[in-house]
Structure 1
C-alpha cells in the first residue's frame, strides 16, 4: 500500500428532535478515523472477510484507489430521525474511481465496474449516488463496504476521494450546478470584456499591453467554464484529470497575461530581464507546490504579487495610474492569502471579474483620452488643409466647367460663394453676377470642388474664404458671408463646422 494522502471531505448536520423531512444539508458522515482496508492479490466478486491477516487497519485518509483495486469497510452512524424520514436516502461518493457499495451486507449499487485490472474496469462517474432501500438502515452504527478502483486515471492526486456520505437522495450534478450558478454573472463579465476589448485592440492593431487585458479575461472565462463543467455534465472520472489540467493551464495563462500587462505598462527597462527572472521564479513555485488547487492558487498569486510590486515601484516614481493598480492587486493577493482553500471555490471568479473591471475601466479611460487626442489632431490637420487649399487657390485659382441651358462655361471656383442643391441641379452663388444653375447634383459638385469648400448642410456647400462669422439663433445656426448672404448650418454638422473654422 503506497503512503498517499487522501482526504475524504465530509459535511455533517445532525437533525435535532422530531420526525422532520430530511433536507439536503443533513448528512451522516462516514467514519474515516480507522478503516479496514484490503488490497487483494486477485480479483474478488464478493467483499473479502476483512480479517486482520488479509487486511490492515489504517487511517482512511491514506487510502487511494489510483491504479489499484481497494476494498474498505467502515461504519456510519444514522440518527433515528434519518431512519424514520420518508424522504429517500442515498449514499453519495465523489471520487476519481469506479465504485460498488454495500450497506449492512447488502449490495446497493455500482458506479461503473471496479475491477482488479484496467482491462476489466469500466470507468464510473466522478460524482455518483446509490439509492438506499427503505428499511436497510438502522439507528446507530451501520456497516459500509466500498469497492473501488481507479485504473483509468492519469494523475495521482493528493485527494482522489472528495466526499463520502449519506443524505437525501438527489442527482449530484444538480447540487454541484447550484453551487456554480452564481458564477454565471462573472462569466458574462469576463466573456463580454474579452470580446469587446479584444476586438477593440485588434481593430486598432495594438497587440501589446492592450491585448493582454482581454486575453486575461478570456483565459479566466476558460477557467470558469472548465470549473463549471463538473455541474453541467456527469462525466466519468478519467475526464476529471483533464478538467484539472485545463483549470491549472487557464490559471497559469491568466496570471501570466496579467503580469505581462502590468510589466508592459509600468516596469522600468530592461523589461526582458525582469520578465525572465519573474517567470523562472514562477515556474519554480509551481513545480514545488503539491496539489492542483494549491498550484492553481499559486498560478494566480505569484504573478499578481510580482505585478503589484512593479506597480507599487512605478507609483513611487510618480507614474500615472500605477498607484491604483498597486492597490487593486494588493487586495487581490490578500484574498488569496487569507482564504487559500476557499479562494478557488468561492471568491475566485468574482475577484477576477472585479480586478478585470478595474482594468477595463482603465482601458476605457485610455481609449477615450486617445480618441480626444486623435480628434484634436484631426481637427488641426483639417484646419491646416483648409489653409493650404486657400493658399493654393490664391496663388493658382482653379476653374470649374459649368453646363446650364445647353451652354458651357468655365467659372473660377474662387468666385463661387456657395452652392445650393436643387434636386438634380445646383444653384451657384457667384460673386458679381446672378445665380447660375448647373446641371449636376450637389454630391457630384462637392467631389469636383477644391478643399476650400465645406459641406455645412445637406443642401449647401460654402467657400470658406467667404465666411465672415458663425451665428447661433433660437432656430439654429447660420453662416454670415462677406457678400451679405446667409447660409444655414445643420445641427448635426455644426460641431464639424466649428472645428473647421476654429
Structure 2
C-alpha cells in the first residue's frame, strides 16, 4: 500500500516542485522528547529550507483540512527526515543526526501518511527534523518539495508516457544508425547513433526519480549525469549539423561549442545548467544550418526551420525543456533522419548495381565499392592492394588511396597477371616494381612511388621468378 501511495505521489513530480516552498516555515533549536519534539528560539525562514551540512529543525502551523480526504506529507530533497504532526510521530526517512556519523541517509523522496485523527480544529503544528551530510554537492535548492497533499490525486502520467515513447523510438534509432554505420562507415550515421544513445540514456536517468526509490546521496550523481548527457547531446548536435551543412567550419564550431556548452557547468542549479546546455547547443547548430541554406546545401532549409522552432519554444517555455521538450527534439530530429538514411541506402545500392553492370564492358578498370559510392579505377593506376580487415586499401598512382569493400583473396583472382600476391596482406603491381631489397633477414619490394611492401619468405621465389631476378642478387636496380 505504501509503494502504491508513493508512486501515485511521484507521478505528480511535474507540479509538486512548484509548491515545495508554499508552506511558511520557521527554523528552531530542537530535540526529540518523549512526548514529541521540543523546540525553542524559532525564527522565520526567509528564502528556502536548506539542511545541507547541518542538522535542522523546522516547524509550520497548518489549518485543518476542509474535507475528510486522507492527506500525506510529501518530502523530496537531499536530506534524511523525520516528521511529527501535533506531537504525533508520522514517520522517519533514514535517520537525521547532528553529524555525518550520526546520520543515516534516507531516500530522496519520502511520503508520510497522516491519519485522520492526527488533525485538530484550528492550528496544527507540523515539525520536521532534517539533516544532510552526504549530499556530495551543494545544491541551490536542496529541498524540491515539502508539501501536505490530499490522497489520492489524479495521476498525470502523460509526460512520463511521452518520455517512454520517445526513449523507445530513440533506442530503435540507435540500432538503425548503428547498422547503417556498420554497412557504410559514414561519419554522420555514427554521430546520429551517438545522439540517439545519449538521449535514450537521459530519458532513463530522468525517469529514475519517478520509478526508483533511491537514496538521497545518489541524487548528486543523477543530476550530474543529466547535465553531462544534455551537454553531450548538444555537442553532437553541433557536430552533426556542421558536418552535414558547413563542413569546412567543423573544427572551429566544435571548439566553440565545447567552450560555450562546457561553461554552463558554472551556472547555479542543475536545471539551469541542463536547460542552457541544450539551448546553447541548438543556438550554435543554427549557425551552420543557416550557412548551409546560403550555400544551397540540400536539407539545410528544413533543418534550420526545425532548429529555430525548437529554440523559440525552449526560450518561451524553459521549464518544459529538460523534462519533456528535449526528448521530443531528439526523437523528432533523429527519426526522420533515419528514414532519410534508409532511403539513401536503397538509392546507393541501385547506383552500385548500375555501375557494376556498366563495369562488365570495361575490363581495364576495377569497380570499387566504398562508403562514397562506386568508382571505376583504371587497373594500370593501381600500385598495390593491402588488406585492411574486411576491406582492402587500394594504393593508387599519385598518392591517392581508396577503401574497397572486398577481400584480398577475391581480388587476387580478379586482377590480371601483372599483379602478384607477395605477402598474406599485400598484392603488388609488378609493372610498377622498381627494386627488391634486403632489410636484415627480411625483403621489401619498392614500387615507383609510396612505401615499400613486405615480401614473405614463402612468396619470395615466385616474386624473383616473375621479376627475373637471380637468387644471389640482393637488389633489383631501377
Partner of 1:281: 260
For the pair shown, which has the larger CA radius of gyration, 1 or 2?
1
Alignment of 1:17-416 (within 5 A): 32=22, 34-38=24-28, 44-46=31-33, 49-51=38-40, 54-59=41-46, 61-81=47-67, 84-85=68-69, 88-169=70-151, 180-206=160-186, 208-284=187-263, 286-384=264-362
Distance 1:177 1:278, change over 3 A: same
Shift in Å, 1:330: 1.1
Distance 1:303 1:193, change over 3 A: same
2-structure distance, mates of 1:277, 1:131: 51
Shift in Å, 1:189: 0.5
Distance 1:158 1:39, change over 3 A: farther
1-structure distance, mates of 2:109, 2:62: 20
User: Is 2:199–2:233's contact at 8 Å kept on the other side of the alignment?
Assistant: yes
Distance 1:181 1:268, change over 3 A: closer
Distance 1:276 1:113, change over 3 A: same
2-structure distance, mates of 1:45, 1:153: 24
2-structure distance, mates of 1:108, 1:282: 45
User: Is 2:23–2:147's contact at 8 Å kept on the other side of the alignment?
Assistant: no
Distance 1:134 1:48, change over 3 A: closer
User: Is 1:37–1:50's contact at 8 Å kept on the other side of the alignment?
Assistant: no
Q: Is there any run of 5+ residues in structure 1 with no aligned partner, and where?
A: 1-10, 12-24, 389-449, 451-502
| TM-score, length of structure 2 as denominator length | 0.67
Partner of 1:414: none
1-structure distance, mates of 2:158, 2:213: 14
User: Is 1:315–1:323's contact at 8 Å kept on the other side of the alignment?
Assistant: yes
2-structure distance, mates of 1:295, 1:342: 14
User: Is 1:176–1:231's contact at 8 Å kept on the other side of the alignment?
Assistant: no
User: Is 2:180–2:189's contact at 8 Å kept on the other side of the alignment?
Assistant: no
User: Is 2:83–2:91's contact at 8 Å kept on the other side of the alignment?
Assistant: yes
The one-character-per-residue Cα deviations of 1:29-56 (angstroms, maximum 9, x if unpaired) are: 787564220367xxx33476544xx343
Shift in Å, 1:382: 3.5
1-structure distance, mates of 2:16, 2:208: 26
2-structure distance, mates of 1:68, 1:338: 38
2-structure distance, mates of 1:308, 1:366: 24
More displaced, 377-386 or 292-301?
377-386
Number of equivalent positions: 351
User: Is 2:20–2:144's contact at 8 Å kept on the other side of the alignment?
Assistant: no
Shift in Å, 1:268: 4.8
3-state SS of 2:119 partner: coil
Partner of 2:431: none
| TM-score, length of structure 1 as denominator length | 0.64
More displaced, 222-231 or 177-186?
177-186
Distance 1:156 1:197, change over 3 A: same
Q: Is there any run of 5+ residues in structure 2 with no aligned partner, and where?
A: 1-8, 10-14, 367-413, 415-478
Alignment of 1:439-478 (within 5 A): none
The one-character-per-residue Cα deviations of 1:119-175 (angstroms, maximum 9, x if unpaired) are: 1111111111112123111354321111111111111111111112223457x9x96
2-structure distance, mates of 1:249, 1:355: 20
Distance 1:184 1:382, change over 3 A: farther
1-structure distance, mates of 2:203, 2:311: 19
3-state SS of 1:119 partner: coil
CA RMSD of aligned residues (A): 3.0
Shift in Å, 1:294: 1.3
